[in-house]
Amino acid sequence: MIKLTPMLPKYLEQVMTLSIADEQLAYVGTIEEVLVNADDKVHPHLVLADEQVVGIFLIDTIYSDRYDFAPSECLGFRAFLIDIKYQGLGYGKAVIAQLKSYLNHQYQQNDMVYLTVNCKNPVAYQCYLNNGFADLGELFNGGAAGPQHIMLMKIDTE
């Protein structure tokens, strides 16, 4: 069972040990590159398994300022990383399956979340598609690793 939580200082040491395979760096970056993007508008959240940090992601509250395809007041799901030691165990899928409920609780003023996923990453694309995200049928061509699918999930419960 996993738990999603905003990042807390007590987990920082564990967070700093997170890593991914070299071939995934183009999609996510290193943990240092992920954390340098965190601030009062881009919030780090953790994936815990029995109090062990197994992953991290960012929720960008000003996503529309960076991406013209996103409407104002939407959230952005960015820099999703599951540590290399925990990949293939279902944690990524479990995060995406819980994301709607989690974001609805954490960001009650927002009603949708956007993400982009690289066209060369069909496993992640299918995971998002199977867990509530819809492909908008458009590509974002500004990514460092090539074209990306633009996806959206409504998170309000009404």
Asked whether the predicted pLDDT for residue 158 surpasses 60, the reply is no
Task: Return the axis-axis angle of helices 91-106 and 122-130, rounded to nearest 10°.
Answer: 50
What is the per-residue pLDDT across 110-157, written as a single tens digit (0 to 9) for each?
Answer: 999 999 999 988 988 999 999 999 999 999 997 777 899 999 999 975
Domain that holds residue 31: 2-154
pLDDT at 69 (0 to 100): 94
Q: What is the CATH number of the domain that holds 9?
A: 3.40.630.30
Residue 61 CB contacts under 8 Å (≥ 6 apart), including other chains:
41, 42, 43, 75, 107, 110
How many domains does the chain divide into?
Answer: 1
Locate 97 and state its tokens: 């399956």
For the chain, the 3-state helix, strand and coil shares in percent, each to the nearest 5, are: 30, 30, 35
Residues 52-79: pLDDT tens digits?
A: 999 999 999 999 999 999 999 899 999 9
Maximum Cα–Cα distance across the chain: 42
